[in-house]
Amino acid sequence: MLNKKDLLLYLCTNQVRPITQALEEALAGGVTMVQIREKDASTQRFYEVACMVQALTRRYGVPLVINDRIDIALAVNADGVHLGQSDMPLGAARKLVGNSMFIGVSAGTLEQALAAQKYGADYLGVGPVYPTTSKADVPDALGTERLRVIREAVHIPVIGIGGIGPHNIRDVMQTGVAGVAVISAILSQPDIKAATQELRDALGCFPV
């Protein structure tokens, strides 16, 4: 099941190709959880990517989370699934995975956060904390104060997501979240392992 400390530095992949080399560098640099997301790939391609990534994350002892697709998560024995607000309703998802997988839910408002907690989410990804270019059509940034309000209103772990990098990661952690999720702060950097280590160093002073 979910170990809260694994949420510390959570890497989301966003249809990056080729993923394997970049991911291995990020794992070597110290990411603590990996989520893969393939909104446009065929099921066959997503399954193949998930199998490859599962082999890598297992080697590093890091949990693998599948975005949206519970069929893929079940097929590769992922550790968890992550559901957005347009994915399967949490109650239906829980029936499919039982307690064999943890379920994370994206929340952009306090109402969404409380609803996800009520229906059994194991953790929340809350954001965007800052403006981000990694995803299209995202709402306005919450800022750290609204992130703190949401974090304090729920008893399940929260991670911040959206526009987080080495320059602001401490501000996010000071809201009391369990960790941060990043995409481009790792995957868009010229030296992925070094960028990951820099983030881990910045996280070093926070208790988990």
Query: Given the rule CB under 8 A, which residues bind a copy of itself?
Result: 42-45, 47, 68-72, 74-75, 85-89, 92-93, 95-96
193 is annotated as an active-site residue:
no
Catalytic residue among 4, 5, 17, 37: 37
106 is annotated as an active-site residue:
yes
**Closest separation in Å from C-beta 48 to a copy of itself:** 9
Sorted by sequence, the CB contacts under 8 Å of residue 169 that are 6+ apart come out as 180, 199, 202, 203
Nearer to a copy of itself, 40 or 145 (CB): 40
Nearer to a copy of itself, 87 or 171 (CB): 87
- The β-bridge relationship of strands 179-182 and 33-37 is unpaired
Angle between helices 143-153 and 110-118 (to 10 degrees): 30
Nearer to a copy of itself, 43 or 174 (CB): 43
86 is annotated as an active-site residue:
no
**Closest separation in Å from C-beta 9 to a copy of itself:** 27
Catalytic residue among 134, 135, 193, 200: 135
**Residue 16: CB atoms within 10 Å:** 17
Asked if 159 and 183 touch (Cβ cutoff 8 Å), the reply is no
**Closest separation in Å from C-beta 194 to a copy of itself:** 36
Q: 106 φ, ψ to 5°?
A: -80, 135
Q: 47 φ, ψ to 5°?
A: -60, -45
**Residue 15: CB atoms within 10 Å:** 12
- According to DSSP, residue 37 is labeled E
**Residue 80: CB atoms within 10 Å:** 22
**Closest separation in Å from C-beta 58 to a copy of itself:** 17
Nearer to a copy of itself, 21 or 42 (CB): 42
Catalytic residue among 94, 106, 148, 151: 106
Q: Which residues are tagged catalytic?
A: 37, 106, 135
